[in-house]
Amino acid sequence: MSTLPTRPATADKSPSSIAEIETQRLRRRTFAIISHPDAGKTTLTEKLLLFGNSIEIAGAVRGRKSERTAKSDWMEMEQERGISVSSTALTFEFAGAQINLLDTPGHHDFSEDTYRTLMAADAAVMVIDLAKGIEAQTEKLFRVCALRKIPVLTFVNKVDRRGRSPLEIIDEIERKFSIEPVPQNWPLGSGEDFRGFIDLHDDSVHLFDEHRANRRISSKVVSWSDLETVEPAISSDLIDATGEEVELVRMAGASLEQSQFLSGAQTPVFFGSALTNFGIEHFLHGFLKLCPPPGSRNATEPPSPNFSGFIFKIQANLDPRHRDRVAFLRVCSGMFERDMEVTIARSMKKIRLARAFRIFGQDRQTIDEAYPGDIIGLVCPGEFRLGDTLCQNEIVHQEGLPQFSPEFFAVLDCTDTARRKQFDRGLKQLIEEGAIQVFHDAHTKRRENLLAAVGELQFDVVRYRLESEYNAPTSLSWRPYKLVRWFNATPEQKAKIRLPYSGKLALDQFGHDAVLLQSEWDVKALHRANPDIQFQEMRVAT
């Protein structure tokens, strides 16, 4: 805790500065992209930044990715950690708005990081490859969004390549996610016959021009009714077939409503091609119209003018030379000012925020002020925990960060008894950071370190860090569990709980009741055998 002088509290903010905070809030949009590797997230990010005048950054995005893929496994993990941690949010301006694109790791082994990062987003953009449809990682990430009621926009990518029929994709979204997909545009052909898209709002046809990949130029637009005459090179068969598809889409009758989108009942669907930079501008305009400003998703009135924010990620050793830890904070209300004094709601401890950065790769840029929706990296001396709320003047508790059902379980032991203390200290630290979860047997309470994570590589990270930072060598022994279901029950209910043969009753690191299970089949059996208990696949910390 610092004793240095602090800035005055925002309670004294003048009406003009309150108005400024509100103006800044309303012009911000904070979102994340969810996708399966190779669907085109990097390419889409690049093109979005191109529209936001951030061409240098766009290059850097690609640079980071090629660096990443060129490395060996271990290095790739390190590199991936670098990616997942070293950039906070890419920020760009478009049509008067400031758009914060949260950076999420692409590797599925770091999906827990991605899940948590989603908690800092006001909306998600789901990128689907037209040829591949909905893939495993996209499906998982969509479910996290649905559980947390994060509205999802869909971008169907690679329409310049031959893929599935757009109707098939629409149908797949509806079937798999029980959400109503509402197309906003419709591709005219695909693959070598790709000619453009029809804007379903005004029936204008935006004609494809493949020479615009890295330039911000608008496409030639003609009306659907004039298409055949103005563009005789486009075959009438293609026009007729597309017309029939559009007719079918219209007959399905869905029209997009903001409230339905925000509640997760509908997803607007945009077709485009990130690589050829086609459909991106149209998508961005649609995105701006739909994505809610920070703090207005579930709220009926504007957020308080007092500063508050929550920590959604803590990362150690971002810069190996400094061995520091960075806590990533999303501003929820009010204004962040460098050197301001805030209270950590959990501990009621006051702390001065002197070192706040925007972090990109190895570069850190000092931040003097930030507004709702912005992401800042705070260099923390060990004061923060994952999910902490920081606030000023009035104590608020933002909803905690959820714990996600892990997919890998293993017992971790220290192989050098002389380093046991350091091992315990290090592990405690890593658990607090959220690098790994831990479970204990509910009956024996034996102090066994049964660690659990969504991705397998998270175990390597933990072992590597215990060894390098705490000089504690470890051994790992895998356990066959694959899932966790948390539950709240009375002691009587708990005593009578019926578990599948291979299930295990456990307590998580916070002492919450959980069942460890080996398959989805076990989950079904658990539900069937205990109809009076509600089981959760995600637990919101309180």
Select 262 or 280, whichever has its Cβ closest to ligand GDP: 280
Residue 204 annotated as lining a ligand binding site: no
> E-assigned strands of 387-520?
389-391, 402-404, 408-414, 437-441, 450-453, 474-479, 483-487, 504-508, 513-517
Residues 274, 213 contacting (CB under 8 angstroms)? no
Tell me whether residue 50 or residue 515 sits nearer to ligand GDP (CB atom). 50
| 134-153 footprint of ligand GDP as x/- string (CB under 6 A) | --------------------
Least CB distance to ligand GDP at residue 358 (A): 22
Q: At closest approach, how far in Å is the CB of 356 from ligand GDP?
A: 29
Q: Which is nearer to ligand GDP, 160 or 199 (CB)?
A: 160
160 is in an annotated binding site: yes
Q: Are 189 and 172 in contact (CB under 8 A)?
A: no
Among 52, 106, 406, 434, interactor with ligand GDP by CB under 6 A: 106
Q: Which residues within the stretch 246-285 sit at the binding site for ligand GDP (CB under 6 A)?
A: 273-275
104 binds ligand GDP (CB under 6 A): no
* Residue 163, annotated as binding a ligand: no
- Spell out the residues 6+ positions from residue 47 whose beta carbon is closer than 8 angstroms to its own: 58, 274, 277, 280
158 annotated as belonging to a binding site for a ligand = yes
Applying CB under 6 A, the span of 70-78, 156-164, 405-413, 476-484 interacting with ligand GDP comes to 156-164
Strands 450-453 and 513-517: unpaired
Q: How far is the CB of 67 from ligand GDP (least distance, A)?
A: 13
Task: Output 160 or 341, the one with its CB closest to ligand GDP.
Answer: 160
DSSP type of residue 181 = E
Distance between CA atoms of 312 and 163, rounded to whole angstroms? Answer: 37
How is residue 4 written in tokens? Answer: 């240095």
Query: Following DSSP, what letter does each residue of 393-405 receive, concatenated?
Result: SS---PPPPEEE-
Single out the residue of 490, 502, 492 nearest to residue 526, CA to CA: 502
What's the half-sphere exposure (Cβ side, CA atoms, 13 Å) at 396?
19
Q: Considering the complex, state which of residue 58 and residue 353 has its C-beta at the smaller distance from ligand GDP.
A: 58
Residue among 40 and 406 whose Cβ is closer to ligand GDP: 40
Nearest distance, CB of residue 417 and ligand GDP, angstroms: 44
Residue type at position 384: F
* 43 sits near ligand GDP (criterion: CB under 6 A): yes
Which residues does residue 26 pair with via DSSP β-bridges, in sequence order?
none
User: What is the Cα 484 distance to its own chain's centre?
Assistant: 21
State which of positions 289-318 bind ligand GDP (CB under 6 A): none
d(CA 18, CA 35): 37
d(CA 263, CA 240): 36
Candidates 81, 107, 158, 282; binder of ligand GDP (CB under 6 A) is 158
Size of the site for ligand GDP (CB under 6 A): 17
Distances (CA, A) of 15 to 11, 254, 455: 11, 43, 48
Pick out residues in 63-82 that bind ligand GDP (CB under 6 A). 65
Within residues 3-42, the interface with ligand GDP by CB under 6 A covers 35, 37-42
Answer yes or no: is 361 a known binding residue: no
Residue positions in the annotated binding site? 35-42, 103-107, 157-160
Residue ranges that bind ligand GDP, judged by CB under 6 A: 35, 37-43, 65, 106, 157-158, 160-161, 273-275
